[in-house]
Structure 1
Amino acid sequence: MNWGTKLMIGMGMFMTFIIVLAVLMFNSKTDALVDIDYYEKGLNYNQEYTGKEQVKTDNAAPEIQLSTESIVLKFKNIAVGNLRLMRVSDKKMDKKISFETNADYEFMVPTTDIAKGRWRLIISWKSKEKSYLYEQEVNL
């Protein structure tokens, strides 16, 4: 085999490699870092920022206690809101739970049906006519 044949075989293999990569790229899943509803999130960003700042202003961050069978959220006052459990690695495992605190200003979430690993807790609630938003990552 002379050098011209080797060059053509090398170019053919490289072009095949590029075509295979292009096909795999177009057939792959969407990127987990890209939000589908980014436009709505952009419109609601001011409300989220206000809620996060309200937590700092009122020193109203909930106390989060983790155990093997539950997550306990302790608030400063009576709270009504939503808890979103977001799995960083798999969007299909995300959960949304509505809650209302008991007389001790607590809310308990059983973790028996929640997979172990890293989760992002996003807590949005209303208390005394004010809206709050708090985020924290936890390992269950």
Structure 2
Amino acid sequence: MNWGTKLMIGMGCFMTMIIVYAVLMMRSDSDALVDTDYYEKGINYNLDYRKKSHVNMDRAEPTIVLRNDSLVVTFKRESTGQMKMIRTADKKLDQQFEINTDQGNTFAIPVGSQKTGLWKVQLDWTSMGRPYLYEKEIMLP
């Protein structure tokens, strides 16, 4: 076998590999990096930016702590709103909770049954008539 034959076999294997990867990519059902509602998020970007700036201006950043099998969020004042737990690796595991703080301005959810790994916590709440938005990444053990 001479070098020309080996070169053609190598090129054939490389092209076959590229075709197989292209077919596998076309068959994949979902892509975790693409939002389905990107248009709405783009339109509401200014509103979200304003809510995030309220957190900084009012120094209203909540404290997020893992205690036992619970995720405890402590706010500066009485709050109501929504909390999203977003799993960056698998959108099917995302969850949403209603926030209603107790007497100590805390809100807790059980996370013992959640998958371990990196989660993004998104808090969208209203306190004393002012809207806030806060995001933080946490690692569940």
Q: Is the 8 A contact 1:68 1:111 kept in 2?
A: no
CA distance in 1, matches of 2:82, 2:131: 11
RMSD: 1.8
- Counterpart for residue 99 of structure 2: 99
Q: Is the 8 A contact 1:123 1:134 kept in 2?
A: yes
TM-superposed deviation, 1:100: 0.6
C-alpha deviations, 1:26-57, integer Å up to 9, x for none? Answer: 11243311111110110111111001000000
Secondary structure of the 2:99 match is strand
1:115 equivalenced with 2:109 (yes/no): no
The amino acid of 1:41's aligned partner reads K
| TM-score of the superposed pair, with normalisation by structure 1 | 0.89
TM-superposed deviation, 1:118: 1.4
CA distance in 1, matches of 2:65, 2:4: 70
TM-superposed deviation, 1:18: 2.8
Percent identical across equivalent pairs?
49
Work out the number of aligned pairs and report it: 140
- Counterpart for residue 13 of structure 1: 13
TM-superposed deviation, 1:119: 1.0
Secondary structure of the 1:96 match is strand
- Counterpart for residue 88 of structure 2: 88
The amino acid of 1:46's aligned partner reads N
Q: Is the 8 A contact 1:74 1:107 kept in 2?
A: yes
Distance 1:64 1:3, change over 3 A: closer
Secondary structure of the 2:16 match is helix
CA distance in 2, matches of 1:60, 1:104: 15
Q: Is the 8 A contact 1:72 1:109 kept in 2?
A: yes
CA distance in 2, matches of 1:119, 1:7: 48
CA distance in 1, matches of 2:125, 2:26: 41
The amino acid of 2:32's aligned partner reads A
Distance 1:6 1:121, change over 3 A: closer
| TM-score of the superposed pair, with normalisation by structure 2 | 0.88
- Counterpart for residue 60 of structure 2: 60
CA distance in 1, matches of 2:42, 2:123: 19
